[in-house]
């Protein structure tokens, strides 16, 4: 639980990798020294998945809702290997996803805390292959990058905690029966290994249940959507520290797979609401 008397820095470490190439990161590096000066703690949140975690927003899409970065949020640049200021309308960055509203909502939920967010994601990546716990390339790079971000906090003298993880993935695993049927076991194993590798037993994880809209898609055949959804539901039902959010009512683009800016904003809000509950922002216990 978060104590009101504490001044806590929630570092929202957003580590970004996209399959379409690396975009130039904002140049300004974040100042970590003030966290120690305030006696605060850095809470690290991990954001992982495939294309809907990557997001398709450009900086111009932030002007209406989120033109300015939250003052107390920082972003890990995997390309630069350092912390940078959180993306806003002036950032040279054009693959933005649900992490924006996720961060902003956490800032509002914890007004007395210094909030900061880890994002590592790429389109078309399967949990049965690239994200497979222990052996998948995405998994290995995600763990290595997360550890690098944490080590940066250590070397700066920051007190830190790996506080939570959000997961937006599963679409690609619906394309064949074997991947779909293995999803529950693969997600359980991924979560187990992330907790072990990052020394975060009981790490709260929020999983987005993939949308039914996938069944209407023409470009790809997401035939085993229901099986993956069932796997996600079972993982959340059987692990007290895994929470499920539903996104099926959020309107998609014409491809029935990805979302417009308003959709990513809403997704991030739902991730945040569940994470706030999971990390003590809401004392109501998780229902089964």
CATH number at residue 154: 3.40.50.1110
Answer whether residue 285 is part of any domain: no
Strand duo 119-121 + 42-49: pairing: parallel
Answer whether residue 1 is part of any domain: no
Number of domains in the chain: 1
- The whole-number pLDDT of residue 181 equals 99
Please answer whether residues 99 and 268 qualify as being in contact, where contact means their C-beta atoms are separated by less than 8 angstroms.
Answer: yes
- The whole-number pLDDT of residue 10 equals 41
Q: For residue 93, report the phi and psi dihedrals to the nearest 5 degrees.
A: -155, 125
Answer whether residue 206 is part of any domain: yes
Answer whether residue 284 is part of any domain: no
Answer whether residue 265 is part of any domain: yes
Answer whether residue 57 is part of any domain: yes
- Per-residue tens of pLDDT for the chain, all 288 residues: 433 333 333 444 444 443 333 344 444 676 665 544 455 577 889 999 999 999 988 777 887 787 777 778 888 888 888 888 776 666 665 678 999 899 888 877 777 666 767 899 999 999 999 999 999 999 999 999 999 999 998 888 888 889 899 999 999 999 999 999 999 999 999 999 999 999 999 999 999 999 999 999 977 899 999 999 999 999 999 999 999 999 999 999 999 999 999 999 999 999 999 999 999 764 444 544
Residue-number span of the structural domain to which 61 is assigned? 9-278
**Tokens (6 digits) for 109:** 């939920």
Containing 83, the helix (H) or strand (E) segment is strand 82-85
Please answer whether residues 211 and 247 qualify as being in contact, where contact means their C-beta atoms are separated by less than 8 angstroms.
Answer: yes
- Cα pseudo-dihedral 242, 82, 154, 7, rounded to 10: -70
Answer whether residue 196 is part of any domain: yes
Answer whether residue 288 is part of any domain: no
């Amino acid at each position: 639980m978060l104590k009101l008397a504490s001044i806590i820095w929630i570092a929202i470490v957003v580590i970004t990798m996209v399959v379409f190439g690396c975009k130039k990161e904002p140049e300004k590096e974040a100042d970590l020294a003030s966290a120690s000066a305030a006696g605060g703690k850095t809470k690290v949140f991990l954001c992982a998945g495939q294309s809907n975690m990557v997001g398709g927003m450009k900086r111009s899409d932030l002007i209406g809702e989120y033109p300015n970065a939250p003052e107390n949020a920082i972003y890990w640049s995997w390309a630069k290997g350092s912390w940078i200021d959180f993306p806003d309308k002036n950032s040279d960055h054009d693959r933005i996803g649900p992490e924006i509203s996720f961060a902003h909502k956490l800032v509002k939920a914890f007004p007395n805390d210094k909030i900061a967010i880890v994002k590592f994601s790429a389109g078309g990546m399967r949990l049965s292959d690239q994200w497979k716990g222990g052996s998948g390339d995405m998994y290995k790079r995600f763990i290595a990058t997360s550890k690098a971000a944490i080590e940066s906090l250590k070397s700066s003298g920051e007190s830190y905690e790996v506080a939570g993880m959000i997961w937006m993935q599963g679409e690609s695993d619906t394309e064949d029966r074997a991947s779909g049927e293995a999803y529950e076991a693969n997600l359980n194993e991924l979560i187990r290994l992330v907790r072990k590798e990052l020394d975060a037993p009981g790490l709260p994880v929020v999983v987005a249940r993939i949308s039914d809209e996938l069944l209407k898609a023409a470009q790809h055949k997401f035939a085993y959507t229901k099986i993956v959804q069932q796997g996600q539901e079972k993982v959340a039902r059987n692990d007290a520290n895994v929470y499920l959010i539903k996104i099926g009512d959020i309107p998609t683009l014409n491809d029935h797979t990805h979302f417009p800016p308003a959709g990513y904003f809403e997704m991030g809000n739902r991730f945040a609401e569940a994470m706030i509950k999971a990390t003590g922002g809401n004392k109501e216990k998780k229902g089964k």
